[in-house]
Amino acid sequence: MINAIKELEKLEESGFTTDQAKVSLNIWIELMNENLVTKVEFKEETLLIRKEMLLMRAELKHDISDLRTEMYAIRAELKGEIAALRSEMKGEIASLRSEMKELEHRMTIKMGIIMGIGITILGILQRL
């Protein structure tokens, strides 16, 4: 804190009356008491803030751990779904290939029939 007597003397030396110096000094002391923090108050507040920070850090670590667990579960679920979709797609592709082979076989038969009919018609036309 300040040395009130010393400060009072300085104000009087600079031209303040004793009453003016006392009033000014009282105002200054009141402002300091209302707005300044003591070392003890500062240490107490610092400790409280540190405790709050430690609690927040612990909560954040817990939240991060929960999020990681949740992410791993979602990842596993997605892997399962992707595997199921791949399997389904493989089945669909195999089915399409089978259908295409069947269509190819039918078209070959139809083309053979058409060629046979064409050859028959040509044979008939040649005899005429």
- Percentages of the chain per state (helix, strand, coil), in multiples of 5: 90, 0, 10
- Mean confidence (pLDDT) of the chain: 92
Enumerate the domain spans of the chain: 1-36, 37-127
> Between 77 and 28, where is the model more confident?
77
- CA 11 from centroid of its chain's CA atoms: 61
35-44, 57-66, 85-94, 105-114: least confidently modelled range: 35-44
95: pLDDT strictly greater than 90: yes
> Which of residues 87 and 10 earns the better pLDDT score?
87
